Amino acid sequence: MSQTKEIQLPDIGDFHDVEVIEILVSPGDRIEPDQSLITLESDKATMEIPSPEAGVVKEVKVAIGDKINQGDVIVTVESEEATAGETAEAEPETAAEPQAPPVAAEPEPPSASSVPTSSGGGERLPVTVPDIGDFKNVEVVEVLVSDGDRVEKEGSLITLETDKATMEIPSPAAGTVRGMKIQVGDRVNQGDLICELETDAAEPAPEPTAAAQQPTSAPRPEPIAAATQERLPGEKAARKRPVIAKPSDAPKGRAHASPGVRRFARELGVDIYHVPGTGPKGRITKEDVQNFVKRTLAEGAPQVAATGPLQLPRPPEVDFSQFGEIEEVELGRIKKLSGKHLHNAWLGIPHVTQFDEADITELEAFRKDLKAQAEKEGVKLTFMPFLMKALAAALKEYPQFNASLAPDTEKLILKKYVHIGVAVDTPNGLMVPVVRDVDRKGIFELARDLMDVSSRAREGKLAPADMQGGCISISSLGGIGGTQFTPIVNSPEVAILGVSRAEMKPKWNGSDFEPRLIMPFSLSYDHRVIDGAEGVRFTTYLAQLLGEIRRLLL
């Protein structure tokens, strides 16, 4: 009598509803004690679940993407003892002759009936998408074989990808691919035809026969070695003794890796198609990805540069409707464009922000004195034209701030003109029109230009040329509030000035405290071009100009 045992998920701590991301065995596989059956992944760790005993897998009870808990049945296994007992019953006479090899009797080989015994030609076996759980319309992301390719049993045919996992569909038998029916990008479901397989006629059932030819009491070193080579115990051994992969080990256009390894590669920004695999059958392991990153960094990143900019992993999709009522609103065109530009600037520029403050008491009094005259000129005189004039003078004093880094990052382009961008909050999003030749214009003219570009920005009437050519930008939030913030450099500029709300503060003048109007500001700059000492000198000089209005007008 055969004895079938259920192998359940053991105690895995406080984890619940843990996702199955990899199934490492199939029905008919012989497994050994401690051989991994499945791979689970929680928010904190990836874990492999081993078999507590040896035997033959009869049925796999879970699928990739399932959420399981302690006590759930993973597989059913025909135990080693039962298999040995059946073999002993089938060979009662042979047991009396230990020196004679057993007859090549096959105790019900599971796959012999599906393979023709005639040597005249192979059988056409349709290969369909197996049961993949509750997934529907799963996308084909890789086609790993072509017409005429030779595949082994359990060799991968295609790779499917869902929102939760990536899975490879294996071949049910060895043979030659005839008539591939799907291609990359197709959406498939259970039962869809993948290809037809011309099975091997001359090899009816080598694995069951080999197993039947061995005495039950004798060890089985070769099948065990084969099993460990194909499954995870062998993979662990390969990880302990990695070898340098040859180009042929990982065919171009193929990447055999588990979902966990693929996600690990995405998190590091690595194109997994360029990683040579050192695991069984060229499979890519986590260590292969780590070694690839180390080599790439040591060689000056030629491979990563060839694949394009760093690609960060997409954030996980969250169904917020499960927490309450929601509404989806499309981002405006300006926000989409500026968002991509700011994202690239934040990733590509090593930012440093220097915080400082300026005493603008006298400057504010001077501005109020000029207010009546400005009204006669037909302009609204705010603090911004004075700040722009001071910033232009600081750029003249420190020309490395009025520059751009060449695309090859080997040269600095110094600009002899002074054009300043001013961030404007509009109903459609943030826009940065540019006021030109700030160093050559007076305060009233700057005020007039500023009124013009700001109104056109809010009305959506700016031309592309109106937002190009800036040397440095100003982002002023003082009219709203706040004390400090970190502005993002508006590439290809190398610095940006952020201005917060000015307020009266007590300042010590040597004998007593007196109220002074203090304006906090911050300077973000590209650390590849400007070092910390230069940043401090710049902000100190700017604060002096704003604090001594006479010096500004000279």
* pLDDT tens digits in sequence order for the chain, 554 residues long: 568 889 998 877 767 888 888 898 899 898 988 788 998 877 656 677 888 888 999 999 999 989 999 889 999 998 755 444 444 444 444 434 444 444 444 444 433 333 343 334 568 889 999 887 777 888 888 888 888 888 888 788 888 877 656 677 888 888 899 889 999 889 999 899 999 988 865 444 444 333 334 433 333 333 333 333 333 333 333 333 333 333 334 344 456 776 667 778 877 778 887 888 887 667 788 889 888 888 877 765 444 443 444 566 777 888 999 999 999 998 887 888 888 899 999 999 999 999 999 999 999 999 999 999 999 999 999 999 999 999 999 999 999 999 999 999 999 999 999 999 999 988 888 899 999 999 999 999 999 999 999 999 998 888 889 999 999 999 999 889 889 999 999 999 999 999 999 999 999 999 999 999 999 999 999 999 999 999 999 999 999 999 987 777 65
148, two tokens: 């005429």
Reply yes or no on whether 527 is catalytic: yes
CB 9 within 8 A of CB 50: no
State the Cα–Cα distance between residues 51 and 75, nearest whole angstrom.
9
Residue 273 is classified by DSSP as G
State the Cα–Cα distance between residues 227 and 222, nearest whole angstrom.
9
User: Other CB atoms closer than 10 Å to residue 23's CB: what's the count?
Assistant: 17
Among 495, 497, 498, CA closest to 482: 498
CB 530 within 8 A of CB 472: no
Contacts of the segment 24-28: beta carbons below 8 A, 24+ positions apart: 24/48, 24/231, 24/232, 25/57, 25/60, 25/75, 25/231, 26/57, 26/60, 26/154, 26/170, 27/57, 27/58, 27/59, 27/60, 27/110, 28/56, 28/57, 28/110, 28/111
* The pLDDT of residue 163: 63
Q: Which residues contact 337 (CB under 8 A, 6 or more apart)?
A: none
State the Cα–Cα distance between residues 405 and 403, nearest whole angstrom.
7
Residue 267: enclosing H or E segment and its boundaries?
A: helix 259-267
CB 254 within 8 A of CB 277: no
* The pLDDT of residue 540: 97
* The pLDDT of residue 345: 92
User: Other CB atoms closer than 10 Å to residue 104's CB: what's the count?
Assistant: 9
State the Cα–Cα distance between residues 128 and 135, nearest whole angstrom.
15
Give the start-end residues of each E strand in 80-155: 124-128, 138-143, 150-151
CB 493 within 8 A of CB 470: yes
Calculate the CA 485 to chain-centre distance.
Answer: 28
Residue 80 is classified by DSSP as H
CA angle 129, 132, 133 (to 5 degrees): 145
534, two tokens: 């230069």
Among 6, 239, 202, CA closest to 122: 202
State the Cα–Cα distance between residues 390 and 357, nearest whole angstrom.
14
Residue 81: enclosing H or E segment and its boundaries?
A: helix 80-90
State the Cα–Cα distance between residues 493 and 488, nearest whole angstrom.
10
Q: Which residues contact 462 (CB under 8 A, 6 or more apart)?
A: 431, 433, 453, 456
Enumerate the H helices of 398-554 as residue ranges.
443-458, 532-547, 549-553
Phi–psi pair at 352, nearest 5 degrees: -130, 135
CB 434 within 8 A of CB 466: yes
CB 491 within 8 A of CB 407: no
State the Cα–Cα distance between residues 114 and 100, nearest whole angstrom.
31
Residues of the chain with CATH 2.40.50.100: 4-92+104-109+206-230, 112-199
Q: From the candidates 274, 341, 351, 527, give the one annotated as an active-site residue.
A: 527
Decide yes or no: CATH 1.10.3330.10 for domain 4-92+104-109+206-230: no
* Three-class SS state of 197: strand
250, two tokens: 């990982």
Place of tokens 């230009």: 449
Q: Which residues contact 209 (CB under 8 A, 6 or more apart)?
A: 104, 106, 109
The second-level CATH assignment, the architecture, of 112-199 is: Beta Barrel (2.40)
The fold of the 334-553 domain, in CATH, is: Chloramphenicol Acetyltransferase (3.30.559)
Residues of the chain with CATH 3.30.559.10: 334-553
CB 290 within 8 A of CB 277: no
CB 387 within 8 A of CB 545: no
User: Other CB atoms closer than 10 Å to residue 275's CB: what's the count?
Assistant: 24
Phi–psi pair at 58, nearest 5 degrees: -95, -40
Residue 476: enclosing H or E segment and its boundaries?
A: strand 472-476
